[in-house]
Amino acid sequence: SIEEIFKNWLMAVYPQKAQKILSQVQSTHGGKVSDSRFMKRMLGEGKVAELASKMMQLAKRKHFKNRGFPDFDSSKFRRGGMYTIW
């Protein structure tokens, strides 16, 4: 499962911080590492999720002032044909 892959990666890359990170993730998802509910899967709930959201908003204002997304340009898109299996 994705949860096991995430835990294994966390232990390999951040072994000293893994338990703290898992605890914070679980606090945003009602005690679980993941949450399949729409919009809660990515955002979570609670104080840790609110703090993370505020930090991202501050960083966005600081580093991306007066920047928006570029206009969508579909002229570069070329519709492909069907792929073959054989």
Q: Is 90 exceeded by the pLDDT of residue 85?
A: no
Q: Give the pLDDT score at 39.
A: 66
Taking each helix axis from N to C end, the angle separating 47-63 and 18-28, rounded to the nearest 10 degrees, works out to 100
Q: Give the model confidence (pLDDT) of 36-72 as tens digits.
A: 777 666 778 888 889 989 999 999 888 888 777 778 8
Judge whether 43 and 63 are in contact, CB under 8 Å.
Answer: no
Domain ranges of the chain: 2-63
- pLDDT, residue 1, reads 76
Burial-class residue 44 by CB neighbours within 10 Å (0-12, 13-18, 19+): buried
Say how far apart CA 4 and CA 2 lie, in whole Å.
5
Q: At 14, is the pLDDT very low, low, confident or very high (cuts 50, 70, 90)?
A: very high
